[in-house]
Structure formats: C-alpha cells, structure tokens
A and B are shown apart, each in its own frame.
Chain A
Amino acid sequence: MKNSDNEPEKTEVEVFERVNRLKIKSGGSEDSPDGVISAEAIEEADQSITEMCTDCPDLVNKSLQNLTSTWAEMKENTSPEKRKELAQKMFTDAHEIKDLSGMCGYTLISEFAESLRDYILETTLTVDAQRIIVQAHIDAIQIVHREDIRDDGGPLAQELKLAVQKAIKQHK
C-alpha cells in the first residue's frame, strides 16, 4: 500500500502474541521455568529405535518383496490408470526401504532406494529406457540386501554404484 507518491511502499505486519497453552497443558504456567523431557524418557525413545533396527532386515525384505512383485505387475500392464496406481505403490515401498535402512545405518541400500523413489516421482515408467533404470536400482537393492552390505566402502558397493550410475547416464 502506498501512503503518498513520495513515501516507500509499506508492508502491513501483524504480530500475534499467544497464550502458551501447551506449557499450561504440560503442567506449567506461562511464568514457570522451562520444563524438560527426562533423560529416562529419551533413553526409552532411543530404545524404540534400537528395537526397530533389530527387525530392520526383515522389514526391508518385506518391502523389497512388495516392490519387486509390483514392478513385475507394472511391466505386464498397459493401462495408464493402473500404472499410476502401481507407481504409487512402488514409490511407497522405495520410500519405506529408504527410511528404514537409513534409520538403521544401512546407508548404501538407503541411497539406492532414495534414488529409485525420486526417479519414480519424475517419470511415467512407460519407456523401455526408464525400465532399465528402475531394474538397475532394484537389482542393486536386492544384492546389497542379500549380501548385508551396510555402507558404500567395499569393492562390491562401488561396483553396484557404478552400475546404477551407468544405467542412469545411458538411458536417462
């Protein structure tokens, strides 16, 4: 809004100072000292992470099975609507693998799953070249999972990364 021809444009700014309902609901008052979450509670939360990571290989295996079977169905299907639905399922499974493995220190599998997930977001998966890229990702994830490789330091890890990079470079 301009006040006059000579004055610069003014921005209308409103500030809302709110009552801290959360603090009051958490047993304090607006003036009481800041509260904390106890070290025991934080330790218990970390224990949940440890427990999930114990089950991580089985959980990743389940999502990987879903991913491969959806991909097999996708390759046989020509209906655009059905393909969209299947791509959504593949996205979800790749996302799940990425989150789980990343959380539990399986960085290489997480990296491949993230790359696959992002690729699914940006493509229709109908062209043969796109299929080669997806297949390269799924193969790499399967090998990493089977060989129980955690990080990308070993020779097999490097070989797999190069294979996926090559597929992307050649067919994207």
Chain B
Amino acid sequence: MTLPKSNSLTFQELILKLQAFYAARGAVIQQPYDVEVGAGTMAPETFLRVLGPNPYKVAYVQPSRRPADGRYGENPNRLFKHLQLQVILKPPPENVQELYLESLAAIGIDLRQHDIKFEEDNWESPTLGAWGIGWQVMLDGLEVTQFTYFQQCGGVDLDPISAELTYGLERLCAFLQDVDSIYDIVWARDPDTGREVKYGEVRLADEQQFSVYNFEAADVASAWKHFELCEAECRKLIDRYASLDRDLGKHDPGKDKDDDKEKSEGDAGAGARENSRFPLLGAYDLCLKCSHYFNILDARGAISVTERVGVIARVRALAVGVAKAWMDQQYGQQYKDRQSPVASGGDEPAGKNRPREKKGKLAPVG
C-alpha cells in the first residue's frame, strides 16, 4: 500500500506550514543561523535565549552539519547536513504537548489513523554543558521529534524552563511522502507545470562533496590551527569581559545614587555602556566554530578516543564561559548566585542501564 503522494506536502510546504503554525501562535520566525552548527540547539536563538528570565517564542529552520554522519550521498537515510525545525517555547504553555500534536495535524497527519507515543529520551550535550528531560516522539515507529524540557544550558540552571521541539524535517517529509530515500523527497512542485524538484537535485552534490571534504580532504593541521585560533580568541574575549567587570566595578543601577553622585554615575555609566556593548556574541560564534572544527577533525579520524573527552571539555569550557558572561551582561548581579558547576544529566550513575548519550538529535532516519 502506498499513500497518495500527490496530496502530501512538498518539503518546502512542510516547512512553510510549520512556520505558519508557530507564527499563528505568536512565535518569532527566525532565519537559520549563519555559522556552522551541529544542531538547532546551538544557534544563539536557542543557546542564549533560554538563559535568563525573559519569555520568548521562536521557530526556525536550522541546517545542521554533522561531518561524521556523511555517507557520500549513497545512504538513503543519512546525511552530512540535515534540516531541523527548532521551536523554543519559554516558558512552556500548559498545553505544550497538545500544541505539538496540533502541529502534526497542521501538516496533514490525522492522528486517529496513526500510532503516537512519547517515549523517554533525555537529551544531553556535553559540548554545550546542556541537558534536558523529555521524549522522542514516535509516529508509527518513527522518531519524528525530540521534545525536551531544557534544564541546564551552558552550565547555567534555567529559570524559567524552556520547551524545545526539534522536528527532523527530512524524516518527517519522507514519512509524509512515503519515500524510502531522502533524495526522492519532492522539495518543490511547480503549480503550473507540475514539475517536481527532488531533494537530490537540490542537495546531492553537497552531500557528495562535503563527504569527500570531511572524510578525506580537510587539512588536519589547518583544522587544528583554526580550532586553536578560535579557541584562543574566544578565551581572550571571555577573560577580557571578566576583567572589565573588575576594572569598572559592577554596574548596579540601584547603588549608584548613594555615592559621590557625579563621579560614580560617570564611571558606572561608561562601565555599563562598555559592558553591554561587549561582544559576547562574537565570542559565542568563535565557540561554535571550535565545535565545527572539532567535528571535522573527528570525521577525519584525527582525534583519538583518548583525546576526545579532553577536546570536548575545551569546547564546553568556552560555551560555559560565554553563557555565564551572557547571564551577567544581560541580567546582572542577581543571577550570579544561580550559577552552578556544569552538571551532567541528573543523578543517575553512569553504567550499563543509563540511556546512551545521544550523538545528536534526529539524524534524518533510523
């Protein structure tokens, strides 16, 4: 049995429908972040927005690069770069699960004809110092979404909590169109001529060439050099932000009035301005670059398992450094005490029964 293909959404219609769905519910529709990331979570619209007290709703498509997952365009289910629809609901509404199910209905899935289950799946990213609690949402045996209540990000305990919904767009679309290969997904259909553009036509060359680049051609020595340059610069920015703190005194609007008014206001004002303009966003981009170079080195087989943990810890140190500085810069002193050492997922001992660390959310299928 096959589904009536002509009725199902094209890839781009799927994206548009989901964006329209969240736009209608008050979300900011953001555009993909323009630095290489391994997952939508790493884009600042998630990583930095979940920090601090301000409510926020956002949805965006994020191309997610995972060099080691490339298969030269030969495997029908695996991609070096896939697209995620990333949704952040901060704080999560009470009906967040129902809302999510409505989004499935919005893309034409009649849930009464399908089997849907929320199965335990807790997400953890050692690189970001982030973890959350949630499920993989299973639709007829296929994991279509990762649903996570973020608990900690960049080593910072979150308050309020954010719900993160990550849709694997290729696998969802392959399911809707009932095709066995991602490359057969209809990306666009010309309404006049009915001509179809397939996923393969749009992306196959990407997969082929980047698989060669990531597995064979990328220069290991220069990737290490890039990594180290980005790391050093990021580190320097984080350190400079910290010393800015010390040199200019903390900007605390409530306190200024008591002291020698003119002088204090002058200094603190300049300090506050200096502080709020300090390029932590630039530092975060550098951290993302490190993560990307790490992934390339990993795909090249240039990082031994022994080194791996250490390099991940170096990237995490940057992510945590940026997150803490960001908290300080954006939300001030009152959040300083909240910061706790980077926790890993909860209090279960590591061991055989612990769910495996997810390598990444929602690679296309399987």
Q: Do A and B come from one complex?
A: no
